Amino acid sequence: MTTSYDLVIRGGTVGSATGSFAANVAVKDGRIAAVGQGLPAGAREIDATGKLVLPGGIDTHAHVEQVSAGGLLNADTFESATTSAAFGGNTTLISFAAQHRGSDLRKVVDDYAALAKRGALIDYAFHLIVANPDAKTIQTDLPALIGEGHASIKIFMTYDLIKIDDEPLLDLLLTARKNRALVCVHAENHGMIAWMGKKLVEKGYVAPKYHAISHPRGSEPEAFNRLITAAELLDQPIMIFHVSTAEGAAVIRQARGRGLKVFAETCPQYLFLTKQDLDKPGLEGAKWMCSPPPREAADQDALWQALALGDIQTVSSDHAPYRFDETGKLSAGPNPNFKQIANGLPGLEVRLPLLFDALVSKGRPEFAGRGLEAFVELTATAPASLYNLPNKGALLPGYDADIAIWDPQKTVTITDEAMHDLTGFTPFAGRSVTGWPERVIRRGEEIVADGAVKASPGSGRWLGRKGGWAAEPTGRLVADMDPATNFGAKLL
């Protein structure tokens, strides 16, 4: 007897951004073929009784095989990072093709593409980091690369060697607008951070915990407002990365309330950690050092609220893996001051379990009983929509069969040893979470099962993303750029 489906996942509860229901999921040729009851047998069957069948996670902010602003190569390869991501329930990753001062953006993209093609075992795309905003980059390379499917740009408003000042920021926003790309921004006030850092070190305040103090809370809303003002001038959609403060979230809320095309992300480190985590004996606190730093418990509450209200639409890992040794955090020697320690922490593998535990298992009150829907929305459906990832982020017929089967009862204590990335530690070690992704399926192929990785390096596919404005998570089209709503922009 011939069977029409390659795989049927039977007996589980299917979760989506709008609701959950008992259904079988059938897969054919790497795509979802049907979702419903009473589906005929597949060539393969998975019994998902008691399990949640969810879209694979999409992590849209991870630094992989990337050279930092300070010239340090991070610890992961595309193989290790995507293996770790897959174990954490993810099937798609957006990392970076990172230009530095003086480097050629096209060559940068070619180099990262070659690395990912060799190593990635989940699907992937790149944000183009622009740190050398010269005429060739802005007028020639960016338009061409966006046209070829790299439809998001990332810039930094801080970090000495890669920051973009206000004038080139406007150049970039205009190029993005003309080519219909999204501009993602690390927005902190550089002068305040640099000044605070110098003053603290001069006075001998050098331990990792002073990193948090060196990033004043006000550096975030100041930079957000400046960025938003520039984006408003050109009517250009922006994505504000890793929001950490209540004040930052309030700026975003106000801007969105005015109808501006402002989107935002936060990360587990701002939802689950605080600046107290950096206050450890010796240099240990370096493991919790990222930029912006974790803040206060009240900021965590404000960020959860901003997620529930839709002011912040997605939660990414900002995985930035630096080992706690001379290749990473301690690359400046055994006694660095906090300014000499690489910023960033790993998170690809635990982003989804931490969020699942908070939203689904513990039921954060802000989400009023809709934690599962919020989990799917924030980690899969909204990212696919915001970053133009076609046929990703939902279990709908015709979509890629990217599926994570979760055991909602399984309690796991996170440990350094259990992680599959190459950082060697996780800042979330010791936490227990309930809910774990047991099987992960990418385009119909099982890539994690029975605690083992099944996919081969290089089997992930690059996802071309056309320019075009993202739809809101609700499906409403966000931006109709023609004609410009802003008089100044019409002249350019």
Kindly list the residues in this chain that would bind ligand URP in the complex (CB under 6 A).
63, 186, 290-291, 318, 320, 343-344
The one of Zn ion, ligand URP, none whose footprint includes residue 51, by CB under 5 to 8 A per kind, is none
The one of Zn ion, ligand URP, none whose footprint includes residue 343, by CB under 5 to 8 A per kind, is ligand URP
| Tokens 């959860």 found at | 304
Is the Cβ of residue 228 or residue 320 nearer to ligand URP in the bound state?
320
Amino acid 451 reads G
Taking CB atoms within 8 Å and a gap of at least 24, the contacts of 195-200 are 197/338, 197/339, 200/338
Maximum alpha-carbon separation in the chain: 79
Is the Cβ of residue 169 or residue 479 nearer to ligand URP in the bound state?
169
Q: How far is the CB of 330 from Zn ion (least distance, A)?
A: 21
Determine the residue with CB nearest Zn ion: 186
Is the Cβ of residue 137 or residue 244 nearer to ligand URP in the bound state?
244
Is the Cβ of residue 318 or residue 446 nearer to ligand URP in the bound state?
318
| Tokens 């100044």 found at | 488
> What is the Cα gyration radius of the chain?
22
Say how many residues touch Zn ion, by CB under 5 A.
2
Q: How far is the CB of 289 from ligand URP (least distance, A)?
A: 7
Amino acid 449 reads A
Four-point Cα dihedral 358, 359, 362, 366, nearest 10? 110
Closest CA to 396 of 7, 27, 93: 27
Q: How far is the CB of 226 from ligand URP (least distance, A)?
A: 17
Whole-number Cα distances in Å, 239 to 52, 68, 409: 30, 21, 35
Q: How far is the CB of 31 from Zn ion (least distance, A)?
A: 32
Whole-number Cα distances in Å, 488 to 87, 339, 479, 492: 48, 40, 17, 7
With contacts defined by CB under 5 A, name the span among 100-108, 182-190, 211-219, 322-330 that binds Zn ion. 182-190
The one of Zn ion, ligand URP, none whose footprint includes residue 189, by CB under 5 to 8 A per kind, is none
Is the Cβ of residue 242 or residue 420 nearer to ligand URP in the bound state?
242
Cα torsion 157, 240, 275, 192: sign: positive
Q: Which tokens sit at 239? A: 């994505």
Q: How far is the CB of 241 from ligand URP (least distance, A)?
A: 7
Q: How far is the CB of 290 from ligand URP (least distance, A)?
A: 4
Is the Cβ of residue 212 or residue 380 nearer to ligand URP in the bound state?
212
Ranges of beta strands (E only) in 101-191 are 123-129, 152-156, 182-186
Q: Which tokens sit at 472? A: 């809101």
With contacts defined by CB under 5 A, name the span among 184-192, 250-258, 333-341, 421-429 that binds Zn ion. 184-192
The one of Zn ion, ligand URP, none whose footprint includes residue 290, by CB under 5 to 8 A per kind, is ligand URP
421 binds Zn ion (CB under 5 A): no
Q: How far is the CB of 342 from Zn ion (least distance, A)?
A: 12
Dist. CA 239–CA 176, nearest whole Å: 12
Dist. CA 275–CA 285, nearest whole Å: 10
Is the Cβ of residue 186 or residue 256 nearer to Zn ion in the bound state?
186
Q: How far is the CB of 254 from ligand URP (least distance, A)?
A: 24
Is the Cβ of residue 17 or residue 290 nearer to ligand URP in the bound state?
290
Whole-number Cα distances in Å, 366 to 57, 63, 358, 384: 22, 30, 11, 23
Scanning residues 269 to 328, which ones bind Zn ion (CB under 5 A)? Answer: 318
186 binds Zn ion (CB under 5 A): yes
Q: How far is the CB of 465 from Zn ion (least distance, A)?
A: 19
Question: Is the distance from CB of 404 to CB of 55 less than 8 angstroms?
Answer: yes
3-state secondary structure of 202: helix
Is the Cβ of residue 150 or residue 186 nearer to Zn ion in the bound state?
186
59 binds Zn ion (CB under 5 A): no
Q: At what angle do helices 219-234 and 166-179 cross, to 10 degrees?
A: 50
Q: How far is the CB of 337 from ligand URP (least distance, A)?
A: 17
The one of ligand URP, Zn ion, none whose footprint includes residue 150, by CB under 5 to 8 A per kind, is none
Q: How far is the CB of 220 from ligand URP (least distance, A)?
A: 13
Question: Is the distance from CB of 203 to CB of 172 less than 8 angstroms?
Answer: no
Is the Cβ of residue 46 or residue 243 nearer to ligand URP in the bound state?
243
Is the Cβ of residue 62 or residue 109 nearer to ligand URP in the bound state?
62
Taking CB atoms within 8 Å and a gap of at least 24, the contacts of 33-40 are 33/4, 33/5, 33/397, 34/5, 34/397, 35/395, 35/396, 35/397, 39/5, 39/8, 39/10, 40/3, 40/4, 40/5, 40/8
Q: How many CB atoms lie within 10 A of CB 459?
A: 16
Residues within the interface to Zn ion (CB under 5 A) = 186, 318
